[in-house]
Amino acid sequence: MKDCHLINLAGERLLALPSGVLFMERQQALVVSDLHFGKSERNSRRGGPLLPPFETRDTMARLEADIVRTDAKTVVCLGDSFDDTDAGHNLPESDRQWLARLQTGRTWIWVEGNHDPGAMNLGGQHVQEARIGALTLRHIARPGETKEISGHFHPKFTLNARGTRISRRCFVHDDNRVVLPAYGTFTGGMDCLEPELRGLFANDAFAVTTGQEARVFPLPPARSATRPRLRRGSPG
């Protein structure tokens, strides 16, 4: 797990994987957020552009790889697992079977999100929030709360390295909470310095970027008007 980053939260050892899932070592629980299955289906149903209908299988394939890699005994989907309730109901049969295969032999927990309220009849348990070890897992972070894992914001970290702008989905954490990146293939992101998101965290907070390896960056303090900028890009 050399490519992962270890976060200590209330005595729990949490591994941030470069793929964007969080692994609770002691409980062997895999936490993943904002899968947004069925996003293209919902989009077309609502009269938007017809996006390529491949994102569910792409997301599912990556999730399967993470489950295999971590040999997780429990999988917690941290809300907005479906782009909306109908997207859940309309999930094609092949994807349902795939999902059932992933659920076999392990505990599967659907935490409710703002996009997917209500149980979906797709196996597993449906909960408002979950408690695992010392931690509470819910979709949207509660300001002032501690020992919490959540998703919802789709955080993204943008860096300017020698004139090259690199933007990555990221975990954000401080001593009280972790916010997970969105995992779904067709999900955009919110800069983790947006006040709405940055404001949830203490001054000493970190972004852990996804990609080939998880990498950790200290976040600039809240209410800063400027973007983080590390080195001037030379024109050459």
Partner 1 sequence: MSPLPPRFHAWFTANGWQAHPHQLAMLEQAALPAVLLIAPTGGGKTLAGFLPSLVELADNPAPGLHTLYISPLKALAADIARNLAKPISDIGLNIRVEDRTGDTSATRKKRQRADPPHILLTTPESLALLLSYEDAPRMFAGLKRVVVDEIHALSESKRGDQLMLCLARLQTLCPNLRRTGLSATVDDPHDIARMFAPHPARCRIIHADPGPAPDITMLDTEEPPPWSGGGGAYAIAAIMEQVRRHKTTLIFHNTRAQAEIFFHKLWLANSEALPIGIHHGSLAREQRERVEAAMVRGDLSAIVCTGSLDLGIDWGDVDLVIQVGAPKNIKRLVQRIGRANHQYDAPSKAILVPANRFEVVECLAALQAVREHDLDGAPRGPGARDVLCQHILITACSGPFDKDRLFDEVTTCGDFSSLAREQFEACFGFVATGGYALRRYDRWQRLVQRPDGLWQLRDPRQASRIRMNIGTIQDADLLKVRMKNRMGGKPLGEVEEHFAASLSHGDTFLIGGRIVRYEGLKEAVVEVSPDAAKRPRVAVYSGTRFSNSTQLSHRILRLLQNGDWPEMPQHTRDWLTRQREISLLPQPDRLLVETFPEGGRQYMCVFGFAGRNAMQTLGLLLTMRMEHSGLHPLGFVATDYATLIWGLDPVVEPGPLFDPVRLREGFENWLAGNAVMKRTFRGVATIAGLIERNSAGLRKSGRQTLFSSDILYDTLLRYDPGHVLMDITRDEALRGLVDFGRIEEMLTRVADNIDHVPLRSPSPLSAPLFLEIGKVAIQGAANEKLLAQEEERMMKSAGLDQFT
Q: Note the residues at the interface with partner 1 (CB under 8 A).
A: 5, 41, 44-45, 47-55, 57-58, 90, 92, 153-154, 158-166, 168, 182, 185-190, 209, 211-213, 215-218, 225-227, 229-233, 235-236
Please identify, using beta-carbon distances, which residue of 29 and 174 lies nearer to partner 1.
174
Q: How far is the CB of 94 from partner 1 (least distance, A)?
A: 9
Q: What is the CA radius of gyration of the chain?
A: 18
How big is the CA angle at 178 (ends 145 and 176), to the nearest 5 degrees? 40
Please identify, using beta-carbon distances, which residue of 128 and 167 lies nearer to partner 1.
167
Q: How far is the CB of 15 from partner 1 (least distance, A)?
A: 13
Q: How far is the CB of 222 from partner 1 (least distance, A)?
A: 14
Q: How far is the CB of 66 from partner 1 (least distance, A)?
A: 18
The tokens of 41 are what?
Answer: 């289906």
Please identify, using beta-carbon distances, which residue of 168 and 198 lies nearer to partner 1.
168
Please identify, using beta-carbon distances, which residue of 29 and 192 lies nearer to partner 1.
192
Put the strands of the sheet holding 74-77 in their side by side order. 5-9, 12-16, 22-24, 29-32, 74-77, 107-111, 125-127
**Cα–Cα distance, 37 to 47 (Å, whole number):** 18
**Cα–Cα distance, 236 to 234 (Å, whole number):** 5
